[in-house]
Structure 1
Amino acid sequence: MTEIGMKAAQQGDPISFGVGRQVGKLLEISLTYREAMESLEYGYRCKKERFVQFYNGREPIDLFRAVNEKELLAYYLQTMHPFKELGENEQLDLLQTLQTYYEMHCHLGGTAKRLFVHRNTVIYRLNKCTQLIGRNLNSADESLRFRIAFIIKPLLQL
């Protein structure tokens, strides 16, 4: 750790690290350094604090960075359109529940535990989402549609 890193740690400032792949040749050090820097930048883009981010090649979000921002915004707004008429708090609750549900691989109990709500609350919110979009949330197409929207949201800075 550098002297600056040591001072930051002593002062309680958040410290984060990016880690590149292990290399076997001295000439590959610059490659692993670039990977470490990419990993660190990725962690910051994901709004993480105090993290160690390992390099793991390209992430899905990197694919969407290549797409025109207007197109990404249009996709996001189209996907989230059914929720726009709701109040801000209800919209936030439903979308947070839906995102967590997909992150938990559609497991109700895990979703409830992560959100610190009762399982029936998760069921109620997911049923409300289903009514709003008029399609099955568990279908592969809908799951992919919303997962993509949740991935691109940070790129749009909404």
Structure 2
Amino acid sequence: MKLTVNGAEHSVDVEPEMPLLWVLRDELGITGPKYGCGIAQCGACTVHIDGMAVRSCSVEVGAVDGEVTTIEGLGTPESLHAVQAAWIEHQVAQCGYCQSGQIMAAASFLEMNSEPTDEDIDAAMSANLCRCGTYPRIRAAVKTAAAKLNGA
């Protein structure tokens, strides 16, 4: 089976029912997406398929139709995505476990809503859980990233 991840094509020999998360982590060594709950409820495993945020723990690899982007492919250390830069600026992470999923969810959200209100941000990000409770910093970082993406 062929899979395009972060711009590179990979061939993997796995069952089509295997969750995308395990293909990324165990077969390709891409560890940004995290295992949190395994039932698509926490968001730690969030990746993009053709720009749309999805929970990789509940997507069968055989059903993937499009390019997969993980946190590793969102930006580079030399050229961070606006969301990644805002996360650093606002020092969002505490333990950091959920942050790759949070960032991927925020980046996809901002592609759909470039001028979000606080309520928009809260609604969009509410499905990604943070046990450390950094929600006010997450909201601030999303607002900063939106402003940067809009040229401010």
RCO greater where, 1 or 2, for CA within 8 Å and sep 6 or more? 2
More helix per residue: 1
More strand per residue: 2
